[in-house]
Structure 1
Amino acid sequence: MTGWTADRIPDQHGRIAVVTGANSGLGLVTATELARHGAHVVLAVRNTDAGEEAARRIGGDVEVRELDLASLGSVRAFAAGLAADHPAIDLLVNNAGVVLLGPRRTSVDGFELQLGTNMLGHFALTGLLLDKLAAAREARVVNLSSITHKNAHLDFDDLMFERNYRAAPAYGRSKLATTIFGVELDRRLRAAGSPIVSTLAHPGLTHTNLTPRAWEHRGRFGQLIAWVGLLATQSVEQGALPQLRAATEPGLRGGQFFGPSVLWETRGPVTDARLSREAADPSVGKQLWAAAEELTGISYL
């Protein structure tokens, strides 16, 4: 395939990069490329044994730290430890995610697990690290979206999906919330005159341990995507390119969103991706932000 490749990543020496979920899949590829280009990479992982194995595979200047995004206590402890050891953070890649099958499950804090992990945990983490990001010269936050966000809708009367729960729509809602968070973060950073840049990316349909689950039980649309996926699914190395571009390309403006360019953004060279109407709606962004502040107890911007 042609287009943007990891070879275009500029020198990352002297930069501190935090990648959540860095022990496998997209996170592992992202951490590997950042380290290969000279960054000091923090592998923020729930399973530190898996993180240490990933660190051995990556080589370079990496460290492993425990982070369970499904626990606000863990998020606070991680952020405090990281802040104590690093005066500034140049890059935060909010990559980690969970996809569920079967019955509804909740996080340590009682959130629907997919929303709690994929969006609320990252919302809290970003807020707790914001001062350290602001201390860097050209800091950037990348949030990982999904094409599933395009067919999702947030119900603010039932944000935790306690009524008529279905795992796959709940995943779509969690990725819509993550996308809205990244867009609203950009709005608020700009309004505050912050030098931090918020960007977004999605991997299309990529061979990871999460992708097949995201389309389970989605009716005819999900079956269509599954059949398309047999032809369209791309390697994890290709799938990681949108977030690597969002993380490293010089001169990006806040709010830029990258994804694959072929077959309804399922695969192919990296290009500008399209937000759903709901994801781009400032009123929805404001409402979700207020809900996230209340749920996590963390207010910023």
Structure 2
Amino acid sequence: IVDDEAYVLHALKRELEGEGFRVSIFDDPHAALDAFKSNPFPLIIADHRMPGIVGTELLEQVKQIAPDTARILLTGYSDLDVVIAAINQGAVHRYLVKPWNKAALLAHVRECLEMSRLWAQHHQLLRELEDKTAFLAHANEELRRLASRDNLTGLLNRRQFELDLESQSRLHARDRQPFCLAMCDIDDFKRVNDTHGHPIGDLVLKTIAQGFVAAMRDAVDSFYRFGGEEFAILMRNTTLAGARHALERLLHAVRTSKVPTPGEALTVTVSIGCGEFQSGQATAHFVAAVDRALYQAKRAGKDRYVVVDNPTQP
């Protein structure tokens, strides 16, 4: 309660504490505001006519600090126009005219405290809902990320490759933006598994995946585990000339990488087929053509790339 008249403060305090309410009183509105900033109350009753600041201004500041706090204004009949304006502006919820009626006082206090409780509960539920919504959004994003990734290598998976390839072909049809596809297969991978075991085979797959990422271009190339020991690379905004340079780097990176084993370090190579997407080409036919070039590279001696319809050795 805020009022510059001591007898009003103590009379209100006595009546409300007699009904079981906990009451703090202030004869200085500025001291009341300082206390309120540190520990907002669920309800504040303020006299309108006080030195330094009028009650409507005080309650407007209270509203800015803690909107959930209920606000009652004490006033005389001569101030009713000001009070009604304050109510219409939302600064005041209820008002009491001096001398007040105890029954009206208690009814207003109980109603306002319940209103404040419900507001606080409502805002708490909104905050919890926002937190849960943010958590779910993050969880969904993580699920989408996991659904697009290969568990072993961390590369994008075949499903994501198919989505990205279709998207890239639509972009090509619209903007004629060139792109290339490379299909890569680890040479003699079955022999690695048969000789060293599947755990070492898995380590080879992960090492190759890391080499791909290190050798290629950020924000241009995307890497996918296509299946087994076969990988795919989408090279955006890239012609065959640019793809050739990228694949030279890739072959060198794989050729010089070392896979740690219980014995001596293991080296592996890859064979690659590559092609540039052509207007009007079906994506399935494009992939099949690049895959055929890959197996041409295998037959030509491995550790090399072959461009669709144009075999090239590094």
TM-score normalised by the shorter chain: which range applies? under 0.3
The answer to which structure, 1 or 2, has the higher relative contact order (CA under 8 A, 6+ apart) is 1
> Larger radius of gyration, structure 1 or 2?
2
TM-score (norm 1): 0.26
Structure with greater proportional helix content = 2
TM-score (norm 2): 0.25
